[in-house]
Amino acid sequence: MEVQKIGQFSLYHLRMEAGADLFQGLRDFLQAEGLTHAFVLTCIGSCRRVVLAYPKTAEIPPEVERISLEGPFEINGISGDVKRVGSEIRVHLHGSVTKDGREVMGGAIGEGTEVFKMAELLIVGVK
């Protein structure tokens, strides 16, 4: 088990507009706010495209399958973290979306997920 105490933090409400790339928007946010780490507590809204990833095999590390699905989709909830690792900003998200009000899909949310009308996120940021 690893426990990490988080010191000073700030709470943010981030709204992304239609056409925004969810991953790039989070990278831009982290950079603009000068944060080292951010925790996405929740995200609601809609997406035009969602990229999902899930383990295809049971071994560690698993083979990962990625699928890109065209919507529109309602975002039920997305959470995760965004952090600096060396010179890179890494985004790690999981969540679920609904298509046509009845089909729910989820897993790791991947690069290339695009906002449809809007996405609103509640984020805790650490300097």
Condensed to tens digits (0 to 9), the pLDDT of residues 62-90 reads 999 999 999 999 999 999 999 999 999 99
DSSP string, 70-103: EEEEEEEEEEEEEEEETTEEEEEEEEEEEETTTE
Domain definitions of the chain by residue range = 11-126
Tens-digit pLDDT profile for residues 28-48: 999 999 999 999 999 999 999
Q: Please state, in angstroms and as integers, the Cα–Cα distance from residue 53 to each residue in 31, 46, 65, 110, 111, following that order.
A: 26, 18, 6, 6, 10
Determine contact, residues 99/105, Cβ cutoff 8 Å.
yes
Q: Spelled out in words, what is the top-level CATH class assigned to the domain 11-126? A: alpha beta
